[in-house]
Amino acid sequence: MSEIIVAVDGPAGSGKSSVSKEAARRLGYAYLDTGAAYRALAWHCLDEGIDVENADAVAERARSFDYATGMDPDHYFVRVGGEDITPDIREPRVTAVVSAVARVSEVREALNAMFRRMMSEHPRPGVIAEGRDITTVVAPDAPVRVLLTATEEARIARRSAEVSAQTTEATAQQLASRDRQDSRVVDFMTAADGVITIDSTDIDFEQTVQALIDTVRSGL
């Protein structure tokens, strides 16, 4: 394992990806976006015509698909079978089915094993890994564990600013529906024992990055 693992969980639109990536850059740590792997698997199933409701077929792909990710050098890339699909995994058609893929327990087992392997291979002094169950399942023994949260209203406002092609109502509905589906599988709305909560509702991006860096420094 990397010397230091910083585990960050949170709901959709909490800013955990952008905040974790920037904090990792400033600390000189590696960054691991676990949601990107679930998205890449969902993209791969759509691309191959695999029914995302077919748990066995999806699990088989989770164990065998050729996934690669990392910084290149400062752009976070996602590749499947050597093809760069970094922007594609954010497409609405992928977001719409990713929760179905993520609820299959064999998928989670396969991806969790891959995440642990990736964390152990990082040559940097530390890694910030973010997702929904990093603090509780993937790296429950991490020395720093953070739940990054914000009110649903704040999260919808942020997501709406990113997704300008649809109405705020549509964005709100999608975000709430995905959180509802994901919450049935893992609890990322409440902090587990020993997990520090950072609420970004009333602070801006820069302050949230600083809060995460301060939490890392004081936790070590």
Answer yes or no whether residue 43 interacts with ligand C5P by CB under 6 A: no
Phi, psi of 13, rounded to the nearest 5 degrees: 80, 10
State the Cα–Cα distance between residues 50 and 61, nearest whole angstrom.
Answer: 9
Least distance from ligand C5P to the Cβ atom of residue 82, Å: 22
Least distance from ligand C5P to the Cβ atom of residue 36, Å: 6
Is the CB of residue 192 less than 8 Å from the CB of residue 6?
Answer: no
Answer yes or no whether residue 132 interacts with ligand C5P by CB under 6 A: yes
Q: Specify the residue, 4 or 101, whose C-beta has the smaller distance to ligand C5P.
A: 101
By residue count, the chain amounts to: 220
- Ordered strands of the 30-33 beta sheet: 30-33, 126-131, 4-9, 144-149, 196-199
Least distance from ligand C5P to the Cβ atom of residue 105, Å: 11
Least distance from ligand C5P to the Cβ atom of residue 168, Å: 18
State the Cα–Cα distance between residues 101 and 110, nearest whole angstrom.
Answer: 12
Q: H/E element holding 152?
A: helix 152-162
Among 7, 14, 21, 39, binds ligand C5P (CB under 6 A): 39
Q: Specify the residue, 32 or 211, whose C-beta has the smaller distance to ligand C5P.
A: 32
Known binding-site residues for ATP equal 10-18
Task: Give the interface with ligand C5P as residue ranges (CB under 6 A).
Answer: 12, 34-35, 38-39, 98-99, 102, 131-134, 178, 182
